[in-house]
Amino acid sequence: MPKSMVVDPSVVRRAGKLEIASIPVNQYAEDFKAERERFGSEGLKRIWLDMVYIREFESMLNTFKIQGSWKGIEYNHKGPAHLSIGQEAASVGQCASLEPSDFIFGSHRSHGEILAKCLSASRRLPEKELLAVMEGFLEGDTLRVAEKAPHESVLDLAESFILFGTLAEIFARKAGFTCGLGGSMHAFFTPFGSMPNNAIVGGSADIAVGSALYKRINRKPGIVIANIGDASMGCGPVWEAMCLASMDQYRTLWDGEIGGAPPILFNFFNNFYGMGGQTDGETMGYKILARVGAGVNPENMHAERVDGYNPLAVAEAVARKKKLLLEGRGPALLDTITYRVSGHSPSDASSYRSKEEIELWQGADPIDHYAAYLVRNKAATKAELEAAREAAIERLASVVRLATNEGECPRVDGSFIESVMLSNGKAERLEDRKPEIAAGLAENPRVKALAGKARFAFDAEGKAVPKNKLYQYRDGLFEAMLHRFSIDPTMAAWGEENRDWGGAFAVYRGLTEALPYHRLFNSPISEGAIVGSGVGYALSGGRAVVELMYCDFMGRAGDELFNQASKWQSMSAGLLKMPLVVRVSIGNKYGAQHSQDWSAFVAHVPGLKAYFPATPYDAKGMLNLALRGTDPVIFFESQLLYDVGEQFESGGVPVGYYEVGEGQPAIRRAGKDLTIATLGATLYKAMDTAKMLEEKYGIDAEVIDLRFICPLDYGLVVDSVKKTGRLLLASDAAERGSFLHSVASNVQTLAFDYLDAPVAVVGSRNWITPAAEMEELYFPQKDWILDAIHERILPLPGHEPRTVQTTGDLARRAKKGV
Ligand SMILES: Cc1ncc(C[n+]2csc(CCOP(=O)(O)OP(=O)(O)O)c2C)c(N)n1
Ligand SMILES: [Mg+2]
């Protein structure tokens, strides 16, 4: 809580009653005249036609899945197809109230949303701009095929382009909207505001909030919609996203000029089912989904239920929500009721619902009913609509012929996938404007304090500088953050305790004085949404730095780290960038749930970079590197290191800007008899061990600090092993499954002929981390390293092991699972 706001007991202890305002349910009233004024007759007919496009598109896919052919075209679609037959009015109605600059994020069931958004956006763009988008996309690869479908106008061409780009993506073609790397559940097309769709239920919620934060913080036009299913209301990250989106601080603390809360609409396409679970009556207790808004903020999130079987009811509600969101009064929530007549997927036998129920909804079919409405109000004739449907099917058929043609539409190869796993870009700033930061940074209290600190750990006589006069690891992180904040106007940072507290472990002390709220703010205790919103912010075009106070909290953000941050660059075929740094602090002293090094999880997931500096020089140089890059970096820090000074670079930590070479380990002590390579804080124990090896046993150990997990250049380690013939690897991560085992295996493969002994890995015990008083039993100690060398690499003359590091014990522990 900021000091400016007082929690007054005389206020909060006062008796009273909460009054909860009513939540509208299906309040739309038909008014043809008003609708015609708004959309024009043509616009009203287009709404119908867009629904038809979706219905025919989805029916075509269904037929392919079930019969392997459609209209005489043979094709075996191996992948998924979660169809939205029945849900067309909900997505088309929504898009009828959106501009190209409005973003929609969606779910596994989003073919219809992609088509609705792109068709609507294409008609709102000036023709020249529309053509330029199509010509420029994937250097014209998609258009070159799509334009083979007959067309008479740019708008016709755009229809083919949209249908083809989506279908080719579903069929995993290179000319698809993300070169076939996203596929059915992840397809999207950003130039028209169709943003990533997510196969993780509810996965779009926090990402969309991040995108809305991007729009708000960087004053971009439009709103953002998270289109998620009714069942996603049971997902923690969805609640976290709603909490993050509704923080009071947007109105109480952020500069009014920013414009208030992020413009986010949580739109639940409520088809009453999550696979076979019926949300209303079985798996949830809200009865009417819109009720949930009342649990989030005093405005009930402006929640209402809207009839998603009537496109005009949806359009009207979305227009109202859009207005209030642009005024900064969000977030908003819509419970858009609809029904998927199709199964969850084509293999679904609908065993969980009755035939009668499906027929009831078919009887209320949104397309038929809307057509009748148009005819009844003389906006169209039946014949006219029928002719339009026929033409739409014909266009679709041309597109299907192209997308199923192997010669016309090849797939990417492995080298292409490899090329888009990481973007490896460099960007000083992501936008060219003046960063919002306090003037006169030299007067910043932290900057001033640092000016008087010793940037090397030892004085001229070699004496250790006292901690209070020492420039520390945390200061390196601070300087890197401040540097990029003052250069990149889009950079924003958030997490728990990021602001008045001074950042967890005092890393950000001084930043509060330097930055306005919207660039540095506290978040709810919502690790999933912290990381997920960072993902959304980054893929929308900004640079985000988010923080997890303890490595052990990564579990709370598991999906956002391992499915979202890691995968969107490659699933978008490199069209999206992910300039996101997730600072993760590895703890100790606080027991089993606050002290584990989980770097191995990150190492295992493709698409993430992972750095782990162990010195102040690297803390600054590696964070500088991460903050100029365009890839997601999981930036590990250790709480054992925050107060250490620079002990290796004799020039100390430079005042100016510099970067550490990516993926390059560093030699901390040169030697010729044995190599000890470490990751993280264990470096210092390895240095002590090396000293003892020399003093007691005359062994000259080389100590290497790996510094990087991904990418990692093995060159230096292999060269060292070629010289020493022996390698021991050590880190604080629990031994089983540690990243060091990958290093050991690779070095044994790369330098087998040079090794005189097997590579040894020393990690923490495969236990819980015990209390601070017993941590020496858990984390690798100097003796463990020494004993492991003696037992497994190089017998040390006269050495009496104090711990058990034998191969026999290694096998015993493995067999016992500890
Ligand atoms: C986190 C997660 N859990 C489970 C699944 C498997 N799954 C896919 S769709 C789905 C149901 C989702 O229901 P809802 O959100 O209402 O969307 P709908 O399918 O009705 O469109 C489930 C459980 C998943 N993809 N992600
Ligand atoms: Mg559902």
109 pocket-lining for ligand 1 (C-beta < 6 Å)? yes
pLDDT value for 104: 99
Give 783: exposed, middle or buried? Use CB within 10 Å, 0-12, 13-18, 19+. Answer: middle
The three-state secondary structure class of 548 is strand
Q: Give the integer Cα–Cα distance in Å for 659 and 706.
A: 16
Count how many residues are written for the chain.
818
594 assigned to active site = yes
Indicate whether this model's pTM tops 0.95: yes
523 pocket-lining for ligand 1 (C-beta < 6 Å)? no
pLDDT value for 503: 86
Contact (Cβ atoms closer than 8 angstroms) between residue 209 and residue 533: yes
pLDDT value for 347: 85
The three-state secondary structure class of 521 is strand
Ligand found nearest the CA of 197: 1
- Residues 801-815 have pLDDT tens digits of 999 999 999 999 999
Paired residues of 227 in beta bridges: 267
pLDDT value for 78: 96
182 pocket-lining for ligand 1 (C-beta < 6 Å)? no
Who contacts 494 (Cβ-Cβ below 8 Å, separation ≥6)?
520, 521, 522, 523, 530, 533, 534, 544, 546, 547
Q: Probe ligand 1: pick from 91, 108, 342, max atoms within 8 Å of CB?
A: 108
pLDDT value for 3: 81
- Complete DSSP assignment for 12-53: HT-----------BS-----HHHHHHHHHHHHHHHHHHHHHH
HSE value, Cβ hemisphere, 13 Å, CA-based, for 797: 6
Contact (Cβ atoms closer than 8 angstroms) between residue 813 and residue 798: no
pLDDT value for 1: 56
Q: What does each C-alpha distance from 619 to 88, 387, 477, 506, 720 come to in angstroms?
A: 52, 66, 6, 14, 24
pLDDT value for 502: 85
Q: Which two tokens mark 112?
A: 């219809």
186 pocket-lining for ligand 1 (C-beta < 6 Å)? no
Q: Give the integer Cα–Cα distance in Å for 533 and 227.
A: 15
Q: H-helix or E-strand containing 73?
A: strand 73-74
Considering only the C-alpha atoms of the chain, give the largest distance between any 2 of them, rounded to a whole number of Å: 102
The single residue of 111, 594, 741, 790 carrying the catalytic annotation is 594
Contact (Cβ atoms closer than 8 angstroms) between residue 145 and residue 164: yes
Q: Give the integer Cα–Cα distance in Å for 646 and 668.
A: 12
Please give the number of the atom of ligand 1 that sits closest to the Cα of 228.
Answer: 15
pLDDT value for 51: 98
Q: Give the integer Cα–Cα distance in Å for 89 and 165.
A: 22
Give 691: exposed, middle or buried? Use CB within 10 Å, 0-12, 13-18, 19+. Answer: middle
Distance between Cα 208 and ligand 1 center (Å): 18
Q: Probe ligand 1: pick from 201, 240, 289, max atoms within 8 Å of CB?
A: 201
Q: Please choose, from the candidates 522, 392, 447, the residue with its C-alpha nearest in 3D space to the C-alpha of residue 45.
A: 392
Paired residues of 333 in beta bridges: 266
Distance between Cα 278 and ligand 2 center (Å): 8
Q: Which residues of the chain have pLDDT under 50?
A: none
Of all residues in the chain, what percent carry a pLDDT higher than 70?
A: 100
271 pocket-lining for ligand 1 (C-beta < 6 Å)? yes
pLDDT value for 716: 98
Distance between Cα 28 and ligand 1 center (Å): 29
Q: What does each C-alpha distance from 497 to 2, 504, 507 come to in angstroms?
A: 11, 6, 10
pLDDT value for 4: 82
Contact (Cβ atoms closer than 8 angstroms) between residue 687 and residue 670: no
454 DSSP 8-state letter: B
Q: Please choose, from the candidates 642, 613, 654, the residue with its C-alpha nearest in 3D space to the C-alpha of residue 456.
A: 654
108 pocket-lining for ligand 1 (C-beta < 6 Å)? yes
Q: H-helix or E-strand containing 243?
A: helix 236-245
